[in-house]
Amino acid sequence: MLKILEVPELDTYENIRQGERGAWLSIATYIVLSGLKLTVGYLFLSEALMADGLNNATDIVASVAVLIGLRISQKPPDKDHPYGHYRAETIAALVASFIMAMIGIQVLIGTVRSLFGGAHEAPGMLTFWVAIGSSIVMFGVYSYNRRLAQRIKSQALMAAAKDNLSDALVSIGAAIGIIGARMGMPWLDPVAALAVGVIICKTAWEIFYSATHALTDGFDEEKLQSLQSAVAGIKGVREIKDIKARIHGSNVLVDVIILVDPTLTLVESHRICDEVEKKMKRKHDIMNIHVHVEPFLPATP
């Protein structure tokens, strides 16, 4: 017997719409900060602040990619996509990682050239305050997006939140480089820009790995074990023959084969399926679970 739980998708689509607000917040913040950093960094001779501003400028594109992914994921299921379009979120996160990696490599190349290009002038003090202020703003945006991503379980928005955090840390590194350069170590400003490039590339790799792991149906072993334990603890489930799970955008799809007493009636087996579905929804917020029931036949000697 096969029973499929069809959970209403209204809450899922509402969560996606809430995720869009986080993406719009990131875009608006990046537009303001990138313009400010690039202008001040250029006028007051700070390579670190300009690298930070260039990072924010590319983040605008990455955030737009996330927003597009969230919009596409709202499309209802159709003939070609019976499970819906939720994986558009994951693809958006993947695109964002490529954009971040590209700009990170550009920053590294440009900074290395600058380090060996001759003398460096100390940047103006205004660049330090812009970097500190930007860091505070980005920490606020990160906190908001992280809480929202955890609540609505959005992989794309969590990727954007990680990017927000890296941007906050990058601004701190830029501020350290700027103040060091003003204290008699002018080479520290481009070194800080180099650190910015490394952080950008590291964040890009983490987002890339998470997205590709999900797109290739990878799933955390500990989480799968937790799902198995929850099903095994349901009254009437004699044994779990097999259980699989995969990420589908901000949702999880589960396939489980349970063994039950062969003397049970169809109605009684159906009741056990209902219990599996309810517990998966209540305890693990599973959107879709396929439950297949087979008779439990003890091995004969």
What's 158's domain CATH number? Answer: 1.20.1510.10
Choose the weakest-confidence range: 5-19, 154-168, 208-222: 5-19
Which alpha helices (DSSP H) does the chain contain, by range? 10-43, 47-73, 88-115, 125-152, 155-182, 188-215, 221-232, 266-284
CA distance 47 to 188: 10
- Bridge partner residues of 254 (DSSP): 245, 289
Q: Are residues 197 and 250 in the same domain?
A: no
- DSSP letters, 118-181, are S--PPPPHHHHHHHHHHHHHHHHHHHHHHHHHHHHT-HHHHHHHHHHHHHHHHHHHHHHHHHHH
DSSP 8-class letter at 88: H
pLDDT at 135: 92
- Mean pLDDT over each residue of the chain, to the nearest integer: 82
Task: Judge whether 1 lies within some domain.
Answer: no
| Residue-wise pLDDT tens digits, 234-263 | 988 999 999 998 887 767 889 999 999 999
Boundary of a domain, candidates 174, 199, 215: 215
Task: Judge whether 2 lies within some domain.
Answer: no
Q: Are residues 121 and 254 in the same domain?
A: no
CA distance 153 to 250: 5
* pLDDT-derived band at 39, boundaries 50, 70, 90: very high
CA distance 239 to 117: 69
Structure token pair of residue 195: 């650190």
Which has more pLDDT, 274 or 15?
A: 274
Q: Are residues 124 and 167 in the same domain?
A: yes
Task: Judge whether 301 lies within some domain.
Answer: no
Q: Are residues 30 and 76 in the same domain?
A: yes
Q: Are residues 230 and 201 in the same domain?
A: no
CA distance 21 to 40: 29
User: Is the pLDDT at 132 greater than 90, yes or no?
Assistant: yes
Degrees, nearest 5: CA angle 183-50-161: 110
CA distance 196 to 176: 11
Residue 226: give its domain's CATH number. 3.30.70.1350
Q: Are residues 284 and 175 in the same domain?
A: no
Show the domain range for 260.
Answer: 221-295
pLDDT at 186: 75
Q: Are residues 253 and 202 in the same domain?
A: no
Q: Are residues 60 and 186 in the same domain?
A: yes
Place of tokens 């609505």: 152
Structure token pair of residue 169: 């840390």
How many Å is the Cα radius of gyration of the chain?
A: 25
Task: Judge whether 35 lies within some domain.
Answer: yes
Task: Judge whether 300 lies within some domain.
Answer: no
Q: Are residues 148 and 290 in the same domain?
A: no
Q: Are residues 126 and 62 in the same domain?
A: yes
Q: Are residues 49 and 192 in the same domain?
A: yes
User: Is the pLDDT at 61 greater than 80, yes or no?
Assistant: no
Task: Report the run of H or E that residue 85 belongs to, with start and end.
Answer: none
CA distance 75 to 66: 15
Task: Judge whether 111 lies within some domain.
Answer: yes
Number of structural domains found in the chain: 2
3-state secondary structure of 10: helix
Boundary of a domain, candidates 192, 215, 238: 215
pLDDT at 118: 59
Structure token pair of residue 289: 């679970």
Boundary of a domain, candidates 155, 186, 215: 215
pLDDT at 133: 94
Helix axes 155-182, 88-115, angle to 10 degrees: 20
**Cβ contact 36:52 at 8 Å:** no
pLDDT at 137: 94
Q: Are residues 249 and 130 in the same domain?
A: no
